[in-house]
Structures are given as C-alpha cells and as structure tokens.
Structure 1
C-alpha cells in the first residue's frame, strides 16, 4: 500500500513543480530538562513502592525547507535520542547516540489544495486525537470559513507472507471538516473508516517441548512458534464532533465534544462513546475559573493529552488516561481555576472527581485528584513549569492497595 501512496504523491508533487536549488531552509528548536518525583506509582495488590525520582532531558530541532518560487517544501523534527516523541528521555547512565524522528513530511500547493504526505504531526482535538504521527496523504481545501481535508493513511502493512501475497494491509480513509459559524463559533467534525484486510497474524512466543538427551536424561526446551493464525478484524468507523467559541469574543468560554469508536476498532465488545462539556468565565483580567463534566462508555479512552496532572495530561506524573480502568464506563467532573499573578507567573488549580462504573472486586470505584501547575516566564526564550498532584483511589472489595499517588516535577524549557 505504501508504494501506491508514494507513487501517487510523487505525481502530484511533480505537477506542482520541481523544488529549486535556491530553497529557503530554517532551523529552530527547543530543549528541556526535568526533575520528576513519584510516590507509590508501582504497586501490587497489597502494597506500593514508595518514592522514586529521576531526571530526564531532550533536545529537538525543527527543519523547515521551502522553494520560494512554487511553495513546495518539507518539514521535519528530530530528537537526539532513541526515545519516542511522547516519551521521557531519562538519565539512566547509558549513552544514547542515535536520533529519532518526530515528524517528516512534504508539502505542496496544488491549485486550491494544499497537499501533505509523509509522517505528519496531525492534531485534531486533545480529547479525541492529539500529538499523533500517522503516515498519511492529506489534501486541504479552504474557501472562506470552510475547510475540507480528505486523507488516506497506512495503519499497518501486511506482516505475514499470506497477506503480503494479496497486499492485505490495514488502511485508513477519513475526512475532517472545519467551519466557522455565523456567530464566529467553531464547528469541527472528523470521520474515519479503518479498513483491515489482514487475514493472518504471525505466531509469536514459544512452546515448551519435553524430550530426552543422548544419555537418557529428561529435559525441556523452548521452541519458537512459527506459522500464522487467523486475524481478528479491526475494521470500523470512528468519529468526533466538537463545538467551541474560541475567538468569538463571548462573555464566557464554551467547549463541547462527542466521540465514537466502533467496537472492532477498539477491540471491545461494544461500541465506545465519550464526551465532555466545559464552561469558563473570566471574572477579572487575572482570574478565570472553569467547570467541566464528561463521561466515557464501553471501553472508550480519551487521548493521552486530555486531562489534568494525574488523570490525563500527557506528562510524567500521569497515573491513567481518562477512560482507563473503566471498561463499562466513567463519569467525571472537575473545577479548574486559572490565576495570573503577574505578567510572568500563571497558576492553575485542579479538583477532579471520577466515578467508575465497575462492580467487580479489585476494580476502581472512584478517584479524586487535587493538583496544581505554576508557569513562570524567565525571558522570551525560556520558562519554568512546576506541577504537583495528589490522587486518592477507592477500590471495590478488599485486599488491594489504596495508597494515594503523589507526584511533582520541575521543568526548564528553552526555545531557540
């Protein structure tokens, strides 16, 4: 499948015009170093592990190239380590000499369309899909307050010889629509069909075999499994719609979102649903409180970036994502207070209550998070961020550790 995408993209880019040697190239970047401390994050049924801390850091470079004559260009970001783009790069005493790619893609104007192809940093919403790097070909058409982006991508190539014979891949086809309504509110919709044509999975692991050696002594040894087994279809539809009034100059802030994932895509028995509503109000130039209420149902899990400090939030302090440990469902509500103490300092406080629809012994019943964030701007290119959080779980039944989770981190961010 990838060879078809590459060939098709090459033809379109060739039609746009060749990249000239006088292309403009810019290099920017950022760096960070973080101290992270965690209490009771590792646990078994009866006990937890105590305090654990470490440092992590990374440096990233953004490379942007563009041909002024025709607008054809490329964008890439690399890290000077072998960790994933969402992962910490911890100090563990081991030398890391490899590079890792965050994103890398081509861009080209083609009439009224803007084409992208490659490993794309595709952001939709923090609740549904954010900070992901799919391999896709996208085409965006924008006219006034409406934009349309159809796309096709490869989720996985065939991995067994049986599927390679027929090019049975896991492919996605989707569409994103964005519209600014007459009242300046923003309405965005996303729909995608995952087409899983794979029929076989390669066997993994090993099988223990008993035998007798040349001296008649009994022995056992592991034999790697070979061959294939029937593949469980992961085809299905996922979709999302959200509405907000950012930029509409309203007296209050409004965000609402509803998401859907088919059962086969999730790998669950039932189709998943999730959504939330958030209202905020600027009480003064310094103080802005917000209230948020939401739910997940039947296995839906929100994106890693959605949430707070301990629940969601995509940081080292995260205990679980919104929807984790809630196969039947979850209801949650939160109060968030943002206070700007000065031109340089901003404080955020979070209070979250989550109620899990679990009934079996040993499963989560409820959880409360109390957390805070302090952001301080040092200068135009650097800042400090301190996060601290406390999460207390309640578990159904007995015999399970209910120690509270505690974590904090201090991060220095630098842009150049």
Structure 2
C-alpha cells in the first residue's frame, strides 16, 4: 500500500511542479461520438479424431453479431473533462427472448460501460486522468498492438508532454481485495496493483520510438481449493516486472515497425482480456496467468512501398509462456479484427516462431486488398499442465499444435466517409505433433464479412 501512496503522491507532485495556472479557456459542453459494427461469419467443421468423432462444439458455424459504442465527453469551462464509453449488444444474434438481459458474458446484460474517468489539466504540460479506462501503449496507436492493447484498468494515469516526448506514469488496481468464490472481502488492501510508466518519443515526422516498464504487486491471499485435483503450486501470486520496446519508422519507400516484450514468469499472459482469479474448480485451473519461466516475445515487419503495392515480411516469436495481446495476428492465426474466425491464438499451447509474407494493394481510393501467406512452427507443450499455463494453454486442439500454414485475404471497401465493409477469408492447414484425442490434420476454412461505421 505504501508503494501505491508514493506513486499517487508522485503523480500529484508532478502536477504541482508543472502547474502555472489552473484555469484554461475551453468551450464547455458535451460531445458524442461513436462507432458500430456488424459481423457475419462462417467456419468449416471442427476437427474430428481418427474415429470420426466430433471434438469441437459444432460441425460448422454460420452466425452474426453486432455492437454499438457511444463515446460521451463533457468538458468544463476550465478545461477539465469527464469521459464515458457505453457499449450495447455485442453478442451473437438469434436468441430474441433473452436479448434484453442475462446473455452478455461480462455482466449479464447487453448494455454496459467500459470507460468512466475524469481528466484534469494542471497545465499545458501535465494532465491527470483518474477512473476506469482502457489503455493501449504501442507503435500502432489503437490498432492491434503486440504487447499492451486495449487493456481494461482502473486507476490514475499522468500525461506529461515535453516537446516531442510524452510520458505516462500510471498506477492501476487490477483486482480489488480477495474473492475466494464464497466470500468477497473488499475492505482490506490485499490487492493486485500494477504501476509503472510509458514513454513515447517522436524523433521526427517519420520515426517514433517508445517503451514501457512496470511492476505488478499481488497481495491477494492464496486460496486452496477443495478436491483431489487441485495443485497447490497453481495458486501463485502474479507479481513481477514487465516491459516493452517498440519502433515505427519510414525512410523513403522503406518502412519498419516492431515491438519486443518481456514478462516475469508469474505474469505471462497478464495482458490478455481475462481477469485473473486465484480461485477455481477442481476441473479447471484457477490461475489463468503465470508460469515458471520468464516470457519473451516480439515481432518485426520490414516493408517496401512500390507505387500502390506494399510488400513486407512479418517475423515473430514467443518463448517461455509469453502471450501477446489477443487481438494481435493475422486472420486464422491470431486475432486481429477477425477474431470470430481465428483458429489459434498466437503464443498459446507452446513456444511459437512465425513468418508471413504480407502484401497490400490499393486498387483505388475505395478498395484495398491485403493477402497473407504465413507459416508458424510451435514447440508444443504435450503434457497437460507441463509448462507455462497462460490463457488457453492445455485446451483441446491447441496444446498439440506442431505447425500450421495460413493463406488468407482481406478486402476493404469504403462505401462512404466513415463507412467501410471488410471481406475476409482464410484457409488453415495444421499439423499435430501429439494429441490425446488423436486429431486428424484436417484443413479449416472460414470467411467473415464485417461492416464498420464511425460517427
């Protein structure tokens, strides 16, 4: 707790040091923006074992979902602001009797808030934000970064601007007190807290470098579960250091973007979209995060622009249980924006190496085609529970994956300003080194259509 108080005091001290005038001229009022998305997808049958028995949950899947998000920002006359983001629906259609509630996986409703914070500008150099937010730190802005992308947090964040450098010190409460599945103690400071700083420097108009360094403390009580199937060493406190470095630049027709991340062994997978509980059942590992090994991961994407064609080689790796952000990847290997037709999440079930030839061609102002030809090699964890856990590790199909080929394409068509439609399709050929279910190496095919609107 002392560390938290010191960090909070440091943030306020920075604000006091740079503050020269707490009153700024601003146009008071409320601004509403937002976005909407509708997806329609198809996935071929799930893998079957050598006896022809279905292993997955369906033979094939055709479905649709939709989402609408509203961003509301209210600004006071002195420049301070309050911001909130409201999400609506975001679920598979077809169950009209329950669309009004109890179907959403997060909080049993189909309308909820994932951002609610205030911002106070102490000067033109320092702004303090406090509340519930979603943070992204990386070279691509808000577009599917490798390490720290759209992570849900609650806490304090500073925005310090010094010429072409931006510094973001932060302290974030990830789990408030202990929840052992039967009782919830919100009155003691046995919390899981993350604090550190992100720094980004724009060297010139073409080159940006940055990185982050942080530490996560975890004072939650370890809770031993009942039953003979629990493993005491699974209930670990998830604390340790984490960090990343990234670069993005352009020199003439040559461009490059890359990122490298590291996580303490007990933090592997901490940047996923899962809340990390130290409780569970006898049939499910309670701790979704952590391993015995320090995790490393990274990628580099050098590319070359020839008129309307951009072609590049995408190279990456994960090791020691490192898991990149779930949204990172291609079409069927990794998440990106086609998560509904992703077959395997990169970095899960083993240590990964991948290489992909990525080519994009701007056909005209409204039409863009991107193609991917990717190969991934996986050093699979072939024994359940042997090796880093991480999100998804040990699930069907994933712990035995040895390698896979992906051939995919994405066509983007701009209907009008702010309205785009995407057509994605992928073919995936996996190879299994080992499987308790004797899975056949059947290929998978999937296609997705996504309509996006920004207003």
Instruction: Identify the residue that residue 423 of structure 2 maps to in structure 1.
Output: 386
Counterpart CA distance in 2 for 1:230 and 1:349 is 41
Question: Is this contact kept in 2: 1:62–1:76, CA < 8 A?
Answer: yes
Instruction: Identify the residue that residue 302 of structure 2 maps to in structure 1.
Output: 279
Question: Is this contact kept in 1: 2:47–2:439, CA < 8 A?
Answer: no
Quick one: structure 1 residues 360 and 235, their matched pair in 2 at CA, closer, same or farther if it must change by over 3 Å?
closer
Residues 9-57 of structure 1 show CA distances to partners (whole Å, capped at 9, x for unaligned) of 9x99999869999831011222222211111346567644432111111
Q: 2:69 aligns with which of 60, 66, 70?
A: 60
- Structure 2 residue 343 is matched with structure 1 residue 325: no
Question: Is this contact kept in 1: 2:245–2:261, CA < 8 A?
Answer: yes
- Root mean square deviation, CA, Å: 3.4
Counterpart CA distance in 2 for 1:129 and 1:73 is 25
TM-score by length of 2: 0.76
Instruction: Identify the residue that residue 265 of structure 1 maps to in structure 2.
Output: 267
Counterpart CA distance in 2 for 1:102 and 1:243 is 29
Structure 1: segments with no counterpart, 5+ residues: 208-227
Q: 2:30 aligns with which of 25, 47, 50?
A: 25
Give the deviation of 1:165 after TM superposition.
6.4
Instruction: Identify the residue that residue 401 of structure 1 maps to in structure 2.
Output: 440
Structure 2: segments with no counterpart, 5+ residues: 102-108, 139-144, 269-289, 384-398
Counterpart CA distance in 2 for 1:230 and 1:18 is 52
Instruction: Identify the residue that residue 216 of structure 1 maps to in structure 2.
Output: none
TM-score by length of 1: 0.82
Counterpart CA distance in 2 for 1:338 and 1:369 is 16
Question: Is this contact kept in 1: 2:153–2:174, CA < 8 A?
Answer: yes
Counterpart CA distance in 2 for 1:257 and 1:229 is 32
- Structure 2 residue 207 is matched with structure 1 residue 185: yes
Give the deviation of 1:110 after TM superposition.
1.2
Give the deviation of 1:230 after TM superposition.
10
Counterpart CA distance in 2 for 1:141 and 1:392 is 48
Counterpart CA distance in 2 for 1:101 and 1:159 is 23
Secondary structure at the aligned position of 1:316 is classed as: helix
Q: 2:95 aligns with which of 67, 92, 97?
A: 92
- Structure 2 residue 143 is matched with structure 1 residue 117: no
Instruction: Identify the residue that residue 341 of structure 1 maps to in structure 2.
Output: 363
Quick one: structure 1 residues 175 and 352, their matched pair in 2 at CA, closer, same or farther if it must change by over 3 Å?
same
Instruction: Identify the residue that residue 82 of structure 2 maps to in structure 1.
Output: 74
Instruction: Identify the residue that residue 395 of structure 2 maps to in structure 1.
Output: none
How many residue pairs were aligned?
A: 383
- Structure 2 residue 164 is matched with structure 1 residue 145: yes
Quick one: structure 1 residues 229 and 373, their matched pair in 2 at CA, closer, same or farther if it must change by over 3 Å?
closer
Residues 337-365 of structure 1 show CA distances to partners (whole Å, capped at 9, x for unaligned) of 10111111100000110011237487111
Counterpart CA distance in 1 for 2:203 and 2:26 is 43
Secondary structure at the aligned position of 1:264 is classed as: helix
Higher mean alpha-carbon deviation, 11-20 vs 105-114, is at 11-20
Counterpart CA distance in 2 for 1:154 and 1:381 is 35
